[in-house]
Structure 1
Amino acid sequence: MSEGETRAGRFAGTALDRLPVRGALAAVAAVAGNVALLVAANAIGVAPGFRPLAVPPVAFLSVAGVVGATVVYWFLRRRSSKPARTFRRVAGGVLVVSFLPDVALLFVDEAATVAGVVVLMAMHVVVAAACVALLPGEPR
């Protein structure tokens, strides 16, 4: 059976066989990872006063990223013969592009610091890792 024919691979026959469930798990993992990263960054004073480093925007944007990735994977499952492989490639490209607005914050937000922006970039990596690990449901 090809990768395109397997719907959930290692999750076949379980509740995790459904993409929305895996998307929800990815959202929980992304938010938990990013809030932990945020707490650590704020504990050491990475960027005091830098509003993007607060729980509400971090949680909201983490979930938004996972929802977007889930929609992309859903689409790829219907259009690609190798959706997991294609998704990993798309996710890598989107991850790199997602760093650009963070870098721009250095020029438009007086409270932004290089360390604060690096933390935001790390948060993008957390979301991408959760999505790449959990959404496909097929072994690599």
Structure 2
Amino acid sequence: MSTATERGRATGGASGVVLLRRGVAALALSLVINWLITFGAISAAVAPELNALQYGSVTFLTTVGVVGATLVYGVLARVSSNPDRMFTIVAAVVLVLSLIPDVTVIPNQPGGNLAAGGILGAMHVTTAVVCVVVLTGVRVRTATD
């Protein structure tokens, strides 16, 4: 039977230091993207009264999501023979579940509407993609590869 460290190396799973670096990178990238989306939503006055589309809420919830994703990946790296694949599946399921309130709750919130829900959903998608790519260490291929 292989050890967790051997499984992690064999599948691209990250060590503690690598995972921390990847988690910080995923957080930084997710925050920048979500702040840009927030800036666009605020500039377009999509839902100016909606608290969920303010920088503080976006920053807090993005941070909670990325820290949670990093912890989940860390656990999977220890217990799974293929943590990258398992994390991608978990991230996809969590993403789908996270979209439900965007279309059911947000439009009914004070100042909310369906467009705001769509924008928040877009933030969930971008954060999920960033977390999967950065935490698993997926290398994006270019035309020169």
TM-score (structure 1 length as normaliser): 0.85
Shift of 1:136: 1.3
Gaps of 5+ in 1: none
Shift of 1:101: 2.2
CA contact (8 A) 2:106 2:116 kept: no
Shift of 1:46: 1.1
CA contact (8 A) 2:19 2:135 kept: yes
**Residue equivalent to 1:62:** 62
% identical aligned pairs: 38
CA contact (8 A) 1:77 1:83 kept: yes
C-alpha separation between the residues in 1 aligned to 2:10 and 2:21? 13
**Residue equivalent to 2:143:** none
Q: Which moved more, 1:94-103 or 1:22-31?
A: 94-103
Is 1:137–2:137 an aligned residue pair? Answer: yes
**Residue equivalent to 2:118:** 118
Shift of 1:105: 2.3
RMSD over equivalenced CA pairs, Å: 2.3
CA contact (8 A) 1:8 1:17 kept: no
Is 1:6–2:9 an aligned residue pair? Answer: yes
CA contact (8 A) 1:17 1:137 kept: no
**Residue equivalent to 1:75:** 75
Q: Which has the higher contact order (CA 8 A, sep 6+)?
A: 1
**Residue equivalent to 2:50:** 50
